[in-house]
């Protein structure tokens, strides 16, 4: 078992395709990820599974490696038990992680937006347009643009993981387009459907970036490149002419508005 634990997950999946299904059940999508640096034993730590889940998942995988045999599952030594809380990002990557926090606050408001959907009144339509403006101006032009036009350019864009990230951004844009088209038709169900799909997509996307992609990128960037990234991000923000603070104010107002409605 020890030998397999120290083997790259890509090789394991090639040899034992059933392992991929087990990982999928735990939301660990290794197959489309082409970073290729993770060993089987790292997968558990990277994805922050608890000890119970770790034992269950390893027992099932061991059955695939050694059908019909009883295998003692070694407890995987963790370098850091609370790894996720303690990932230390470089300053430019940390900036992107902080931008995610604001996007996640907006995504958390989507159920409230849907509950209050109103397409006939000016106020109701404005609420939808304000949400779309946040997505387009902040999540996309301010944040995704820094990833696509600056950060991702430091890596081989043919990597599957980067293709997946680009595809997520594209899909997010198509949901926004669909929301606006549905608003023209006053189609509440379609607006709700695409807001929900956008929220689910972004939650997953941000998780992949925060937990897998960014730490891996950080490990592979040189000190010079990190410095370069930092100044390129600042330049991009200056050029766009608005800051996170503008949209933080917007999210604060939105949260406040819905909190008052609940009172």
Q: Which residues bind Fe ion (CB under 5 A)?
A: 147, 209
Which residue, 54 or 147, is less far from Fe ion as judged by CB? 147
* Distance of closest approach, residue 172 Cβ to Fe ion, in angstroms: 9
CB 98 within 8 A of CB 244: yes
Q: Which is nearer to Fe ion, 194 or 205 (CB)?
A: 205
Cβ burial, residue 33 (10 Å; 0-12/13-18/19+): buried
Token digits for 184?
């023209």
Strand partners, 39: 8
Looking at the Cβ atoms of 47 and 169, the one nearer to Fe ion is 169
Query: Which SS3 state, helix, strand or coil, does residue 255 take?
Result: helix
Sequential DSSP letters for 128-188: HHHHHHIIIIIIIIIIIHHHHHTGGGGS-TTSHHHHHHHHHHHHHHHHHHHHHHHHHTT-H
- Of 118 and 200, CB closest to Fe ion: 200
Residue 165 CB, nearest distance to Fe ion (Å)? 5
| Residue 62 Cβ vs Fe ion, minimum distance, rounded to whole Å | 35
Minimal CA–CA distance to 70: which of 169, 1, 15, 19?
1
Q: How far is the CB of 77 from Fe ion (least distance, A)?
A: 31
- Closest CB to Fe ion among residues 53, 167: 167
Q: In whole angstroms, how close is the CB of 53 to Fe ion at the nearest point?
A: 27
Nearer to Fe ion, 142 or 195 (CB): 142
Cβ 161 to Fe ion, closest distance in Å? 11
Nearest C-alpha neighbor of 46 from the set 188, 208, 204: 208
DSSP state of 76: P
> Residue 166 CB, nearest distance to Fe ion (Å)?
9
Between vectors from CA 42 to CA 63 and to CA 79, what angle results, nearest 5°?
A: 125
The DSSP code for 213 is: I
Q: Which residue has the tokens 């972004």?
A: 202
Nearest residue (CB) to Fe ion, 103 versus 132: 103
Hey, what are 192's tokens? 């709700």
């Amino acid at each position: 078992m020890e030998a397999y634990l120290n083997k790259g997950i890509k090789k394991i999946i090639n040899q034992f395709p059933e392992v991929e299904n087990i990982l999928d059940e735990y939301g660990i999508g290794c197959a489309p990820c082409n970073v290729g640096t993770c060993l089987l034993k790292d997968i558990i730590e990277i994805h922050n599974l608890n000890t119970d889940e770790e034992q269950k998942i390893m027992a099932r995988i061991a059955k695939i490696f050694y059908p019909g045999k009883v295998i003692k599952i070694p407890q995987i030594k963790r370098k850091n038990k609370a790894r996720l809380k303690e990932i230390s990002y470089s300053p430019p990557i940390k900036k992107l992680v902080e931008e995610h926090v604001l996007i996640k606050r907006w995504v958390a408001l989507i159920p409230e937006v849907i509950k209050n959907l109103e397409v006939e009144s000016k106020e109701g339509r404005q609420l939808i347009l304000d949400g779309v403006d946040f997505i387009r101006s902040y999540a996309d032009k301010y944040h995704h643009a820094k990833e696509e036009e600056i950060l991702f350019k430091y890596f081989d864009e043919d990597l599957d993981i980067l293709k997946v990230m680009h595809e997520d951004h594209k899909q997010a844009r198509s949901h926004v387009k669909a929301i606006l088209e549905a608003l023209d038709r006053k189609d509440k169900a379609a607006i709700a459907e695409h807001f929900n799909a956008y929220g689910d997509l972004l939650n997953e996307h941000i998780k992949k970036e925060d937990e897998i992609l960014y730490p891996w990128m950080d490990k592979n960037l040189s000190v010079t490149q990190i410095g370069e990234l930092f100044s390129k991000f600042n330049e991009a923000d200056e050029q766009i002419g608005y800051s996170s603070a503008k949209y933080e104010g917007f999210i604060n107002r939105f949260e406040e508005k819905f909190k008052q409605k609940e009172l």
